[in-house]
Structure 1
Amino acid sequence: MTVPLNGVPLADHAAVYATLDHAGFTDVWSSEVAGADAFTPLALAAAWQPRLRLGTAITPVFTRGPALLAMSASALAEAAPGRFSLGIGASSPVLVRDWNAVRFDEPFRRTRDVLRFLRAALRGETVDEVYDTFTVRRFTLERPPAVPPPIVLAALRPGMLRLAGAEADGVILNWLSADDVPRTLAELGERRPGFEIAARIFVCPTEDATYARTLGRRLITSYLTVPAYAEFHRWLGRDKVLAPMWDAWAAGDRRGASAAVPDEAVDALVLHGSPEHCRAQVRRYADAGVAVPIIALLPTPEVTAGGAAALTTLIAQLGTEPSGASA
């Protein structure tokens, strides 16, 4: 499950983590956009629910210096030895340049360089290296983790996918359908031993299809107009399906862009329907090769109206052990 859950204060997430654990969820993965940072929700989970695995999906490689990123990852790996995975990725120009005032230059090489730096630093080595995109002089972690965390790489198109397969411990996929998974995985090439495949999957468990599709169109318009995601979906073969959206967006017609997203695109990329139907659709990702399907739970009318009790029931229905869930 993606955490923190919308509408629930971080201070109240002890009950959320317990509910997830009781419902059969094994992992909680954070993100870092404009809400919580990637590490704080996981630090709370490490303390409150020691059986859950933890992961960042993702921590951008531009918005922290290499040493600070290594320190943050090392601290969480020390707090949760053997059950934390560090997910990194390039992120986007909006988040990096527009919101964090950092230049978004050479994202592929920056990601590769940060991956290589982290590999050495988290092993406790002294790093004194001139990389293509930055230089680090004699940095050594004072508290290197006893169990260095696996480093998983967010990847969309072939170049980054091949980098993930060659040098990372896993890959994180995003904004793709279950039918897109085989083509994406084919680009990974030869992988490191124990390589893990994760994917964030947007799930809106409501049978109000109009609501779900309206929300899905808004999300698709926000994300898939970002150049990297647009190129990803062109590569996947959605150039004709999404071309009207891209054209309207380029013309400055935000409302028209959202209206141009067809139902078939929404239904492929944002799962909706009853919780049982959504579970079956998530299972399709697992059947296609995703070892860690990460649900990104979207708000529903039912949970908005029913509050915490409705959320607890929904988590139980989405989990693998629905009869055993409790707050």
Structure 2
Amino acid sequence: MTIPLPGVPLPELPAWCGRLADLGFTDVWSSEATATDGIIPLALAAAEPRLRLGSAILPVYTRGPALLAQTAATLAAAAPGRFVLGLGTSSNVIVSNWNSVPFTRPYQRVLDTVRFLRRAFAGEKINEEFPSFTVRGFRLGVALPTPPKIMVAALRPRMLELAGREADGVILNWLSPDDCDTVLPHVREHGPDAEVIARIFVYVHDGDRERARPALRQLVAAYLTVPVYRQFHVWLGREAALAGMWEAWEAGDRRGALAAIPDEVVDDLIVHGTAEQCRAGLQRYVDHGITTPVLALMNSGPDVADAVSALAAP
């Protein structure tokens, strides 16, 4: 499950994590965009020993290499053997527009960061000019008997292959179950045993899909107009289906952009419907090779408790 849960105050998160574990959820994963950061919710969740903790994702640009190593090591020490470090480029919007950091050489930055972190977690003193950054005389001061696993968020072939080759697994986002058949061979070729994590947006409702779609279209537009996701879906073959949305968005016609998103795209990319329909939709991801489905719940307020219980394993 993605944490924090919508509408749940942070002071209540530790108790909620106990409830999630009682219901059979195995993991909690954070994100980092405009709301909470990717670490503090996991620190609050660390007190629940039955849950694995994961970041999906921490951008490789917005923390320096040494600080990123310290942050990951601190959480790994607080939850021995239970923390998974999910890394990725994020997007030019988050990195450059919001954090004023140049979004340059994303592939190289991820590669260098993964290799630096492996060495840092092993206790090595690092004094090296990596292709995308330089580290002088750093040694991690947190001893880690069990270094955290490193997962790489990836969309297209080169980064997918990097995840399979250099990391312990891949983190996927904004794809349908059928899209997994296009994406996963690029990972499996280089990492046959790589863990495959996917964040999947889920909205439990009464089954009236037509009534639910307007709100879901807003989420689709918010993500798929970002350049990295636009390129991803062109590669996946949705250029014709989403051309109307992109054209209207670029023209400043937000209402027209939402109206141009086909129903089938909404239904392909977001799991929604009754609890039974949602569980069936999540199972399709597992059937197509996802080993760790991470639910990003869209229900909020008083609906959260019912939705969480309904989505738990029967």
Regarding TM over 0.5, the answer is: yes
Q: Which one of 292, 306, 310 corresponds to residue 313 of structure 1?
A: 306
Q: Residue 68 of structure 2 corresponds to which residue in structure 1?
A: 69
How big is the alpha-carbon RMSD for the aligned residues of Structure 1 and Structure 2? 1.2
After TM superposition, give the deviation of residue 259 of structure 1 in Å.
1.1
Q: Which runs of 5+ in 1 are unaligned?
A: 322-327
**Cα offset, 1:190, TM superposition:** 3.3
1:211, CA displacement in angstroms? 4.2
Which one is further off, 207-216 or 91-100? 207-216
Q: Secondary structure at the match of 2:218?
A: helix
- Secondary structure, counterpart of 2:241 in structure 1: helix
Write the distance in 2 (CA, Å) between the matches of 1:26 and 1:182: 25
* 1:34 to partner: Cα distance: 1.0
Per-residue CA deviations over 1:83-135 (Å, capped at 9, x if unaligned) read: 11100000011111111111111111111111111111111111111111110
- Per the normalisation by structure 1, the TM-score is 0.93
Q: What's the CA shift for 1:193?
A: 6.9
Contact preservation (8 Å) 1:75, 1:145:
no
Determine the structure 1 residue equivalent to 2:10.
10
Establish whether residue 87 from structure 1 lines up as the match of residue 86 from structure 2: yes
- State the alpha-carbon separation in 1 of the partners of residues 248 and 307 from structure 2: 36
1:149 partnered with 2:148: yes
- Secondary structure of the structure 2 residue equivalent to 1:136: strand
C-alpha distance in 1, partners of 2:215/2:152? 28
In structure 2, what is the equivalent of residue 274 of structure 1?
A: 274
Match of 1:202 in 2: 201
> What is the CA–CA distance in structure 2 between the aligned matches of 1:311 and 1:99, rounded to whole Å?
30
| TM-superposition CA deviations, 1:141-196 (whole Å, max 9, x none) | 11132210010000000010011111010000000001111110011243447421
Which amino acid is the alignment partner of residue 319 of structure 1? A
Amino acid at match of 2:102: R
What is the Cα deviation at residue 140 of structure 1?
0.5
- Runs of 4+ displaced beyond 4 Å: none
Helix, strand or coil for the counterpart of 1:8?
Answer: coil
Letter in 2 for 1:315: V
**Does residue 224 of structure 1 match 2:224?**
yes
Aligned in 2, Cα 1:193/1:246: closer, same or farther, shift over 3 Å?
closer
Q: How does 1:55-134 map to 2 (within 5 A)?
A: 55-134=54-133
Partner of residue 256, structure 2: 256
Aligned-residue offset at 1:311:
2.5
2:173 is aligned to 174
Give the match for residue 160 of structure 1: 159
Q: Is the 8 A contact 2:164 2:170 kept in 1?
A: yes
Alpha-carbon distance, 1:276 to partner: 1.5
Counterpart of 1:245, as a letter, is: M
For structure 2, the 5+ residue unaligned runs are: none
> d(CA) in 1 for partners of 2:6 and 2:249?
27
Percent identical pairs in the alignment equals 54
Farther off after superposition, 120-129 or 155-164: 120-129
What CA distance in whole angstroms lies between the structure 1 residues aligned with 2:136 and 2:64? 13
Name the CA distance, whole Å, in 2 between partners of 1:40 and 1:84.
13
Is residue 19–residue 316 contact of structure 1 (8 Å, CA) maintained in 2? no
State the one-letter code of the partner of 2:290. Answer: V
Change (3 A) 1:263 1:193: closer
In 1, the alpha carbon distance for the partners of 2:272 and 2:100 equals 36
Distance across 2 between alignment mates of 1:87 and 1:169: 10
Distance 1:278 1:156, change over 3 A: same
| 1:185-196 paired onto structure 2 within 5 Å | 185-192=184-191, 194-196=193-195
Q: Is the 8 A contact 2:5 2:304 kept in 1?
A: no
Distance 1:6 1:13 in 2: 11
Equivalent residues, number: 313
Q: 2:236 matched to which residue of 1?
A: 236
User: Aligned equivalents of 2:193 and 2:117: distance in 1?
Assistant: 18
What is the distance in 2 between the residues matched to 1:36 and 1:51?
Answer: 23
